[in-house]
Amino acid sequence: MSASSAIKRIGVLTGGGDCPGINAVIRAVVKTGLLDYGFEAVGILDGYEGLVKDRMVELGYEDVSGILTVGGTILGTSNTAHPFEYVEHGGQAEDARDVSDQCVTNFEKAGLDVLFCIGGDGTLSIAHQLAAKGLPVVGVPKTIDNDICGTDVTFGFDTAVQIVTEAIDRLHTTAMSHHRAMVIETMGRYAGWLALVGGMAGGGDIILIPEIPHHMEVVCEAVGGRSRRGKRFSLIVVAEGVKRPEGGYVLRGRVEESHEKIRLGGIGVWLANEVQERTGVVSRAVVLGHVQRGGSPTAFDRVLATRLGREAVVQAAEGRFDVMVGVQGRDIVPVPLADVAQKQRLVTADSQVLHAARSVGTCFGDE
């Protein structure tokens, strides 16, 4: 492992939204560095904010002991800090400036030889930009949306799917006892993986995702058809990013900056109302929200996160940078960040998962 001989000290940061398994990645990066290569490890606090503001902590074996099972990130995160368009806390968007040199300076001042960036599309795109400035970065993809290119699956997705599934399981009996349509709104602004896979696992009768335009006539016919066949209830799973016919959509109960921008009630509530009006079947909506992205990861995600963290260190030790680690089949492989940044892996018409959902009778509102 001659390439690694140059590495003595590694830094790790976590960016973007919460996702079950981040701590498991941090643990694997630090332990692998320490045990396999003798690296020292440094945690950069609150995502890129800590790199800009030089807020870092040493990470020893004990610091990452016991965090495998814990949700969240011990390093904190930030959704907003962007080294190339940085806005001071409380500042205005028009005052954004490029502080990436400051990041490079702080990286060097801390004596770091590699920067591990655990994050979603935004975090990885910035990592790629930093690589262009000469920082030796390795990315680890992180999103419950499962929509990052170059990897079959992302950690956190399985946990989110499991949470969606358990919620549908619970709503199933209520729908059945009350002869209702229950609408379950999942996360997923652009990609429908969570609604699709969670909906399948929960036995959703109708699943609406952003990738497949739906017609309310088809949706309502599916509800009505079930009713006529003696199934007096329907489970409708909808991704938050699904658009209402008139256009415009609304996100996860988020509190926007100004009162005017608060659009209360998203696609789920709208859909429940629409179905009730059109079919006469009493309908209720549940918006799952942030419970989908927090808490202890499933076994699957713990192991995946551990493997990703380990392979990320291996890439660095072997001198491969400006890459992220991705799952491809049984293996975890390096993927150039250039192939990943600012792209999205959406549900496509030829997906076997989609075929399977259709084959067991799921309606997608499109035919």
* Active site amino acids: 145
Q: How far is the CB of 260 from its own copies (least distance, A)?
A: 12
Q: Which residues pair with 196 in a beta bridge?
A: none
For 266-289, give one letter per residue: b (16+ CB within 10 A) or e.
bbbbbbbebbbebbebebbbbbbb
Which of 201, 203, 238, 195 lies closest to 219 in space, CA to CA?
Answer: 238
Q: Of the two residues 25 and 99, which places its CB atom closer to its own copies in the complex?
A: 25
Residue 349 within binding range of its own copies, rule CB under 8 A = no
Residue 228 within binding range of its own copies, rule CB under 8 A = no
Q: Of the two residues 100 and 292, which places its CB atom closer to its own copies in the complex?
A: 292
Site for its own copies in 253-312 (CB under 8 A): 253-255, 259, 262, 264-265, 268-269, 272-273, 276, 283-287, 289-291, 293-296, 298-300, 302-303, 306-307, 310-311
Q: Of the two residues 5 and 69, which places its CB atom closer to its own copies in the complex?
A: 69
Q: How far is the CB of 109 from its own copies (least distance, A)?
A: 25
Site for its own copies in 85-144 (CB under 8 A): none
Q: How many of the other CB atoms lie within 10 Å of CB of 101?
A: 10
Residue 198 within binding range of its own copies, rule CB under 8 A = yes
Of 43, 50, 139, 202, which lies in the binding site for its own copies, with binding defined by CB under 8 A?
Answer: 202
Q: Strands (DSSP E) along 142-249, which ranges?
A: 181-186, 206-208, 234-239
Residue 355 within binding range of its own copies, rule CB under 8 A = yes
Dist. CA 199–CA 357, nearest whole Å: 9
Site for its own copies in 316-345 (CB under 8 A): 328-332
Dist. CA 195–CA 254, nearest whole Å: 19
Site for its own copies in 156-195 (CB under 8 A): 158, 161-165, 167, 169-174, 176-179, 182
CB-based contact 179:232 (threshold 8 Å):
yes
Pattern 42-61, binding to its own copies, x per CB under 8 A?
Answer: --------------------
Of 2, 94, 360, 367, which lies in the binding site for its own copies, with binding defined by CB under 8 A?
Answer: 360
Dist. CA 6–CA 67, nearest whole Å: 29
Residue 203 within binding range of its own copies, rule CB under 8 A = yes
Residue 251 within binding range of its own copies, rule CB under 8 A = no
Q: How many of the other CB atoms lie within 10 Å of CB of 74?
A: 17
Q: Which residues pair with 332 in a beta bridge?
A: 327
Dihedral (CA of 288, 291, 292, 293) sign: positive
Of 57, 70, 218, 346, which lies in the binding site for its own copies, with binding defined by CB under 8 A?
Answer: 70
Task: Output the DSSP codes for 82-132.
Answer: -TTSB--TT--GGG-B--HHHHHHHHHHTT-SEEEEEESHHHHHHHHHHHH
- Please work out the total of residues on this chain that contact its own copies, with binding judged by CB under 8 A: 92
Residue 226 within binding range of its own copies, rule CB under 8 A = no
Dist. CA 277–CA 240, nearest whole Å: 21
Stretch that binds its own copies, among 10-18, 107-115, 132-140, 235-243 (CB under 8 A): 10-18
Stretch that binds its own copies, among 118-126, 212-220, 240-248, 348-356 (CB under 8 A): 348-356
Dist. CA 86–CA 98, nearest whole Å: 6
Residue 154 within binding range of its own copies, rule CB under 8 A = no
Residue 211 within binding range of its own copies, rule CB under 8 A = no
Q: How far is the CB of 2 from its own copies (least distance, A)?
A: 19
Three-state DSSP class for residue 189: coil
Residue 68 within binding range of its own copies, rule CB under 8 A = yes
Dist. CA 262–CA 256, nearest whole Å: 6
Q: Of the two residues 133 and 284, which places its CB atom closer to its own copies in the complex?
A: 284
Q: How far is the CB of 293 from its own copies (least distance, A)?
A: 6
